[in-house]
Structure 1
Amino acid sequence: MDDETKSRLERLQAELRLKTGNRVTQQEVLARLVEDAIESKADLVDSFRDKRVPVSDDDREAFHDGMVASGKATSEEDIDDILYG
């Protein structure tokens, strides 16, 4: 664990003691964090993903080549009617 992470863990541990009045070990804090992460695994996985998925120029061009204009203007109301009836 790097020094910055260790320091942040110590601050979290101290804050928990101040707010709860109970002593907690760093091991207990880490165990609870891991337990919570397992319960919300999708959020944890997403936090490690790139914010933007890179797409090659060829793939981007192929996507846009497949788009066609219907020649009809579509409003938000039209879309809502189609989706929600």
Structure 2
Amino acid sequence: MASIALDEQTERRLDKLRAAVRRRTGQPISRAELLERLVEDAYGSRGEVVDMFRTSQAYVADEETGTVHRPERKLIPGGPERPDE
């Protein structure tokens, strides 16, 4: 597995997300597993991820709870499969 450098704020947010998962599920989760799942989710919505960079949309995290969401995310059930871009 490759190492990546994260800034302090991103590391704090990642740890808060891990803590939230542990609290709500009773199961510990590693940073690697959490990042894998986040990437898997983003990969399934890669058009939206690309659009975030076009429109400056980003993930928004609540500093206290670590809750993360994407503003104005619109999911279309049963949409067509997208080829790898």
Give yes or no for TM over 0.5. yes
Instruction: Tell me the distance in 2 between the aligned counterparts of 1:44 and 1:50.
Output: 10
Instruction: Give aligned-pair identity as a percent.
Output: 43
Question: Structure 1: which 4+ aligned runs deviate by more than 3 Å?
Answer: none
Instruction: Tell me the distance in 2 between the aligned counterparts of 1:41 and 1:30.
Output: 15
Unaligned runs of 5+ in 2: 1-5, 57-85
Answering whether residue 23 of structure 2 is matched by residue 14 of structure 1, we say no
How many residues get paired?
Answer: 51
Encode CA deviations 1:39-64: one digit per residue, 9 max, x unaligned. 0001100111135xxxxxxxxxxxxx
Unaligned runs of 5+ in 1: 52-85
Which TM-score applies when normalising by structure 1?
0.58
Q: Which residue of 2 aligns with 1:63?
A: none
Alignment of 1:4-83 (within 5 A): 4-50=9-55
Which of the pair has the greater relative contact order for Cα pairs under 8 Å at 6+ separation? Answer: 2
Once superposed, what is the RMSD of the aligned Cα atoms? 1.0
Instruction: Tell me the distance in 2 between the aligned counterparts of 1:4 and 1:49.
Output: 23
Deviation at 1:20, TM superposition (A): 0.5
Instruction: Tell me the distance in 2 between the aligned counterparts of 1:32 and 1:24.
Output: 11
Larger Rg: 1
Which TM-score applies when normalising by structure 2?
0.58
